[in-house]
Every structure is written in C-alpha cells, then in structure tokens.
Structure 1
C-alpha cells in the first residue's frame, strides 16, 4: 500500500488532505475514483481505520490514514498494539485523525494527551506522517511533535494564532486550509499569513459546518479563494499545493 499512487502526473490534481471517506458509505468508492483528485483519507477509531484501508485498496488515488479522534477518547486503556499491528500489516504511512482538543472535549484532555503522545511516538518509530486535530490546543500539540522529532505533520483546519503558525511552519510542518474558509473569517486570516509553500487544501467531508456540508467538490472554489487572497493565479496555487503534498508523500515513503 506504500507504493506511489497510480496517478497521471501529467496533470495537476486537487488535493484533499483530510477527508473521512469511510463516512460516505457506498458513495466512497465512486467519490475516490474522481480522476483529478488525490485524497488523504483519515479515520476516527480502529473500526473506521480498517474501513478506510479497505477503501484505499480499491482506489489508487487514496492514501489511507489510521487514527483515533480525540472526540472519541473516553478512557486511557487504548490498545496501542492493535494500531501497531495495523501499521505493519498494511504498511500504513499516515496516522490521523489524531490530536488534542481543549475546545470541544476539554474534560478528557489528560487522556487525550496520553493517547496522542503514544501515537506520535509510534509515528516517529515508523516514520509516519500525522494529520493533527488541535482546536485550542495548538501549542500543546506542537510541543508534543517537537519533543518526538517527527518530520511530517499537517495541522488540520488550523485556526490558531498567527505567531504559532510561524513556529509550526519553521518546524517544517504543514497548515491545512479548509473549504470552510468561504464562511469562516478566522480561517481567511490564516490563508493571508500562511506561506504558499506550507499549505495543503482539505475538505473534512462530509462534516456539516454551520449548515454547509463540506466536501471535495468545493476544492476548486477554495483554490480560487486562495489565489485571490495571495494575488496569484489559480494555476500557481494548484501546482504549489500539489508540490507540497508530493513532498509529504515522498517523506513518508510513498512515491
């Protein structure tokens, strides 16, 4: 599963670096066969991780990512050995969605931190990339990553402070720009300050954000929005996003 994607490299794809494909049910396989898209398909627990892997087996433009969403953390007895077995069995190269959350589930933060630290250590050991969820815990997540020495991490749907964004970028990590930017003013500010060479696009589909059902079909509109804010043409943005994502893939041993 770690081989290079079977993609037509003569064209520039749209990159969806964070999508919950398993939530699309029977539509997932149809969606992932969109020839102009490449997906990093994230998971929320062991069961969804296995579903994501099965989808990726059928779709040559899907990178499977196994994870445990901080919203699902209830108790500390997570079976880390099971995660490790999945990584080795299926040659998985990405962990996500993983992270910390002080905004929506602050009451379980200590358990979240225990889980996140162990999964990040696993990512370091196996040279994996990470898709990191960290609302109101951006600093804490960055510190865990720094201590671990991992090389590849995408800060999914970043809405943290500008000064911390600069630290994230200086560490060589990436900023996930979500299609919800069209209605989220705070995220628009992130587009303004995030360097083009440090961003990747994402949908977080099929998440419902303020009545807007997010999905990869919105990525062309996001590219246009980024181009307008950055005062460059859309082709430049698409090529930059693809270049960034291709570097990510190479650094985790895919391509």
Structure 2
C-alpha cells in the first residue's frame, strides 16, 4: 500500500479482521512487524508462483519461518503464458509447501490458481491434511469448482469477481459457509474498507439477503475457520 501506516490505523479503527499476504519469504519478517501482536491483522508467509522463477532459492527460508505463523499465502500455481518457463519450479515449490504444512495440519493457506485450477487441485489432493486451502479469486470452470468444493476448499471473494455474470454464477455455487471476503489490495483496490463493503454488498445480492445478515454469515465463517 502507498501509505502502510495510515492503512493499518484505518483498519484497526474499523476493527476488521485482515490477513496480509506476502509474496516472498524474505518479506515476511518485516511485514509481520508492521502490526502489534494484539492487532486484528495477521501476516501470512508467502511464496508467490509468479516470483518463483526469479527467486528460486527461498524454500529454506520459507521452511524456517513456517513455524512462526499459522497463515500461509500467497502460494500456488500460475499457468499464464508469461510464466510457462517456471512451471516445473512452481510445481516443485508448491508441493514442498503443502508437504511442510501437512506436518502441522492447522495451517490456513491462501492459494493462487490463475490458469492452473486443475493443477492446483491435483496438488491439494496429493497432500491430504495439509491444512485448510482457501482459493483466492477462483476463476476455474464449473467442473473445477465442483471438484474444489468436494476437496473441502474455501473461497475468498472480492468485489471484481462479483461484477461479472460468470463470477456471480460461480459464487452462487460455492458453499456459503466456506466464503470469505478479500480485496486483493493494492492491485484491485487501494481503498480496503470500500472494497470490503462492495464485496459484502455483492454477496448480499447473490445470496438474496440483507447486508447485516451477510456480515454475520462472514463473521461466523471466519470464526469457524480460525477456531
């Protein structure tokens, strides 16, 4: 974010619960120190698939830091043509991460699956008990979505996903009790609270319930996820 300090102050004043994901293991220590221990903001340890090709040697650091947090993300696979050269490295890193998470079984994992939904689901299926997979901005096919649901995946949904007919149709098929909101800030939005409000209103429309009931559903989902 352009102004991290004011963003943190705004989020804490609003008393919202936030998961701040990182893109490389090296970023985790400094990012986690931005907030106080009693904050509602948690930091996830990430190794973004789009960066695996240019930063291939950070798994030892990831493994050392993993014991410091329950949250992992953003990790996963990216099947975009611009990242085809790192396809094998991505698969290796993602498999190692899921294998490490399996030893504790309590990790909550935010997963990137752009143009790689089936491959991501294959890895999750190969590592039962790795924790709770939360598919971020899932854009797979209906068959892939149904498979993800059967595998017990959760889904984080943002305002951009709820603007298209395809996105709304996908969200309508996701189990309500396994949905969380997301912002994908700063890429999709620079205003976190506004983005969350738009996502909540979008879910209210899809679910055909009022905003207060939608908020209660989301709070209940989060409590069950972390509890």
Structure 2-normalised TM-score? 0.89
Gaps of 5+ in 1: 1-20, 251-255
Match of 1:108 in 2: 86
Measure, in 2, the Cα distance between the counterparts of 1:129 and 1:123. 9
Match of 1:135 in 2: 114
Match of 1:200 in 2: 180
Match of 2:196 in 1: 219
Q: 1:82 aligns with which of 50, 61, 80?
A: 61
Relative to structure 1, the CA distance from residue 218 to residue 233 in structure 2 (aligned partners, 3 Å threshold; closer, same or farther) is: same
SS of 1:29's partner is helix
Structure with greater proportional helix content: 2
Gaps of 5+ in 2: none
Q: Give the CA deviation at 1:139.
A: 0.9
SS of 1:57's partner is coil
How many matched pairs?
Answer: 224
Contact 1:102 1:109 in 2 (8 A): yes
Comparing 179-188 with 110-119, greater Cα deviation is found at 179-188
Q: Deviations over 1:186-219 (max 9, x none)?
A: 32222222221121110011114xxx64633221
Measure, in 2, the Cα distance between the counterparts of 1:184 and 1:59. 38
Measure, in 2, the Cα distance between the counterparts of 1:59 and 1:157. 28
> Does 1:171 pair with 2:151?
yes
Q: 2:43 aligns with which of 56, 64, 77?
A: 64
Relative contact order (C-alpha < 8 Å, sep 6+): which is higher? 1
Q: Give the CA deviation at 1:34.
A: 3.1
Q: 1:157 aligns with which of 127, 130, 137?
A: 137
Match of 1:97 in 2: 74
Relative to structure 1, the CA distance from residue 24 to residue 134 in structure 2 (aligned partners, 3 Å threshold; closer, same or farther) is: farther
Contact 2:162 2:203 in 1 (8 A): no
Comparing 181-190 with 147-156, greater Cα deviation is found at 181-190
Please provide the CA RMSD for this pair. 2.1
Match of 1:121 in 2: 99
Contact 1:37 1:61 in 2 (8 A): yes
Relative to structure 1, the CA distance from residue 151 to residue 87 in structure 2 (aligned partners, 3 Å threshold; closer, same or farther) is: closer
SS of 1:55's partner is coil
Q: Deviations over 1:75-120 (max 9, x none)?
A: 58423232222223xx300110001000252321111111111111
Match of 1:248 in 2: 225
Q: Deviations over 1:146-165 (max 9, x none)?
A: 11112301000111112221
